[in-house]
Chains A and B, each alone.
Chain A
Amino acid sequence: MKIRSLSLTDWRSYRSAEVSFGDGLTAVVGDNGQGKTNLIESIAWISGTGSFRGASDDALIRLGADAAVIRSTIEADDGREELVEVEIPRVGRNRILINRQRATRSSELLGVVQVTVFSPDDLELVKGGPSLRRGWIDAALAAHHPRNAALRGEVERVLKQRNALLRSVHGRLDADAEFTLDVWDSKLADAGERLRTARRAMLNEMTPILATAYDAVAQQVAMVECHYESSWSGPLANALLTSRELDIRRGITTVGPHRDEIHVTIAGAPARTHASQGEQRSLALALRLAADGVVRTVGVAEPVLLLDDVFSELDPNRAAALLDALPKGQRILTTAADLPSAARPDQVIRVHNSALTLESP
């Protein structure tokens, strides 16, 4: 799909702004603190995944304003035009309209706007804890099919309930509590097994795409591999029973999909601990490219690529290689520095003090 037009009212630093986007590469340029990231953050927000900067809704509304409004026309892959309107008020619930029809859940936006965001924070995917990599694979699963988002939600909900139960028994299990724990265990066993199976299948599909993407960005053949390490073996129901005593003592669930890890290795060495800064940066980009690639190959949609200030961290060679490795289609990048020489933008938007002007490329 493609973003055709975007209008912002009281969104972040923007009082009021309107812009339209072309088909190919758009460069959003300007000094730091002028509103470049705020601009693409609004596009990411209407894809239904919230703020990629992890901001609360309240932070999205311009200081002194009562509500932020995003209005955007989208061209779907089959050429249909769709209108997305979002109002985020300071008080009360968000209003989301798709083609003037009220949407009940923000996840309905997932079906209309798909984006892949690249940001400097992605480095944490490589260097940070396992929850980020689980989040990475789960987001790819959710983009693949809404059923997976529901499954992930179910696992989280069951875990919350089971942990609340574990804490409430204060280390001692009577007959009633044992019965009720059995019920949550069977729910967790069922949903947990299904989530692990889905993640493994997704990882198998993504690994070759990841390896190719890494080689392209790093400009070398490096053998990137992924390995899904599960926190249990055999049926999860048995593992939960085995760990029950420990779980009761600690008041948390110690096995399950929320304790699984995804190891990424470059030429056999763990990327998290052994790769160089440059390799880790390339890998972070490759992880995003792989998630994007798998959405494209299963044919759900062509996401819009949003690249937030990723070139400042890359040397000119890698920057050129990344630009080359990006799937064609609509790409919107922001940069405070000069554009990489390899970039040939079709459109340049200059941001100054949260005002947008088109420049000839």
Chain B
Amino acid sequence: MSYSTTVQELIDQLGRLPGIGPKSAQRVAFHLLKAPSEDALRLSRAIIDAKERVSFCSRCFNLSEGGDECAICLDSRRETRMVCVVEDSQDIVAIERTQEFRGRYHVLQGAFSPIDGVGVEQLRVKELMSRVADEDIEEIIVATNPNLEGEATAALLVKYLKPMGVRVSRIASGLPVGGDLEYADELTLGRALEGRTVLDTGNDSQP
């Protein structure tokens, strides 16, 4: 049995969303068909509103609502000499939750991955370079994911930024705070050992 064109179209559209396979698309479609009209309308309105009001910040490519620049770039209290580079806007939310970073951001909109057809042209690398050239930026903090693609992206940024005379740093990876050493997986623990910090150099002997 096949569905009517309208229902099939709904299933097809839902199936194009990330993380939703044909079965889930079917389930969501039937849920929507059974739901009260106002629920379905509210969802469709939310999608339309978001698409109309939300755009990408012209400076950092974070999500920006109702304006050219995003709220963080417009915030005059933020440190403008430090820029944290992330893969996606969601990463900004995670870093903002820490309340440890008061600088600005730059969203690459992805990570370097030839398999997925993502190269330098698809990432906002050139835009980052013009920011470094135009703005008074002292340090770029690369906060891409600690996986292969994220590391490759970090290495790529270093290559592009090298001639520009800006300090480039990488966020550390290691053990979760409040965790137990014995429960850490080998790779994380290995990385934590590699990135250890000196507590005492042992060289400052008293006279």
A2 is an interface residue with CB less than 8 A from chain B: no
Chain B nearest CB from A59 CB (Å) reads 21
Interface-located stretch among B53-61, B74-82, B117-125? B117-125
Residues in A with CB closer than 8 Å to B187 are 146-147, 150
Question: Nearest Cβ in chain B — how far from A89, in angstroms?
Answer: 12
Please give, as numbers and ranges, the residues of chain B lying within 8 Å of A71 by CB-CB distance: none
In chain A between 162 and 211, which residues have their CB closer than 8 angstroms to a CB of chain B?
A: 162, 164-165, 168, 176-177, 179-180, 182-184, 186-187
Interface size class of B (residues with CB under 8 A): 20 to 34
* Nearest CB of A to B114, in Å: 4
A55 adjacent to chain B (CB < 8 Å): no
**Bound CA span A226–B52, Å:** 67
Q: Which of A143-167 contact B (CB under 8 A)?
A: 145-147, 150, 154, 157-158, 160-162, 164-165
In the complex, chain A residues whose CB is within 8 Å of the CB of B186: 145-147, 150
**Contact mask for chain B residues 178-198; partner A; CB cutoff 8 A; 1 contact, 0 none:** 000000011100100000000
Closest chain B residue, CB of each to CB of A157: B148
Report if B160 contacts A (CB, 8 A): yes
Check if A298 is an interface residue, CB within 8 A of chain B. Answer: no
A183-B152 CB under 8 A given contacts A147-B187, A168-B114, A176-B120: yes
Q: A164-B114, A179-B160, A182-B159 are in contact. Are A187 and B119 (CB under 8 A)?
A: no
For residue B172, CB closer than 8 A to chain A, the reply is no
Given contacts A91-B23, A161-B113, contact A179 B120 (CB under 8 A): yes
| Residue B1, interface by CB 8 Å | no
Nearest CB on A from B186, distance (A) = 5
Within 8 A of A (CB), among B37-82: none
A residues in contact with B159, CB < 8 Å: 179, 182-183
Closest-by-CB residue of A relative to B151 is: A187
Once A164-B115, A183-B159, A187-B155 are accepted as A-B contacts, the answer to whether A158 and B190 lie under 8 Å apart by CB is no
Q: Is B156 positioned at the interface, with any CB of A under 8 Å from its CB?
A: yes
Task: State whether the Cβ of B112 lies closer than 8 Å to any Cβ in chain A.
Answer: yes
Instruction: Tell me if A161 and B115 are in contact (CB < 8 A).
Output: yes
Given A161-B152, A168-B119, verify A180-B112 contact (CB < 8 Å). yes
Tell which of B119, B121, B160, B186 has the most Cβ of chain A within 10 Å.
B119
Residues of A within 8 A of B121 (CB): 176
Alpha-carbon distance A176/B125, docked complex (angstroms): 11
Give the most central of A91, A158, A176: most B CB within 10 Å.
A176
Judging by beta carbons under 8 Å apart, are B148 and A180 in contact? no
The answer for the CA separation of A150 and B160 in the assembled complex, in Å, is 29
Beta-carbon contact of B119 and A165 below 8 Å: yes
Q: How far is the CA of A176 from the CA of B123 in the complex (A)?
A: 12
Q: Are B115 and A183 in contact (CB under 8 A)?
A: no
Closest Cβ of chain A: how far from B152's Cβ, in Å? Answer: 5
Nearest to A166 among chain B residues (CB) is B114
Contact with B along A219-258 (1 / 0, CB 8 A): 0000000000000000000000000000000000000000
B119 touches which of A150, A162, A176, A186 (Cβ 8 Å): A176
Question: Chain B residues with Cβ under 8 A from A160's Cβ?
Answer: 115
**Given A146-B185, A168-B117, A180-B119, 9 new contacts (CB under 8 A):** A145-B186, A146-B187, A161-B113, A162-B114, A164-B114, A165-B114, A179-B160, A180-B120, A183-B156
Q: What are 11 pairs between A and B in contact, CB < 8 Å?
A: A146-B187, A147-B186, A150-B187, A154-B148, A158-B148, A164-B115, A165-B114, A165-B119, A176-B121, A180-B112, A180-B114
